[in-house]
Chain A
Amino acid sequence: DIQMTQSPSTLSASVGDTVTITCRASQTISTWLAWYQQQPGRAPKLLIYKASSLQSGVPSRFSGSGSGTEFTLTITSLQPDDFASYYCQQYDNYPWTFGQGTKLEIK
Chain B
Amino acid sequence: EVQLLESGGGLVQPGGSLRLSCAASGFRFSTSSMNWVRQAPGKGLEWISYITSSGDTVYYADSVKGRFTISRDNAKDTVFLQMHSLRVEDTAVYYCAKTGGANWFDPWGQGTLVTVSS
**A interface residues with partner B (beta carbon < 8 Å):** 32, 34, 36, 38, 42-46, 49-50, 55, 87, 89, 91, 94-101
Contact = CB atoms under 8 A, between A and B. Distances in A.
Contact of B106 (A46, A87, A96): A46
Nearest to B59: A94
Contacts of B100: 34, 46, 49
A98 B103 CA distance: 12
Interface string B7-47: 00000000000000000000000000001000000001111
B75 interface: no
Given A43-B95, A43-B111, A49-B101, A98 B106 contact: no
Contacts of B59: 94-95
A49 B110 CA distance: 21
A3 B103 CA distance: 17
A98 to B, nearest CB: 4
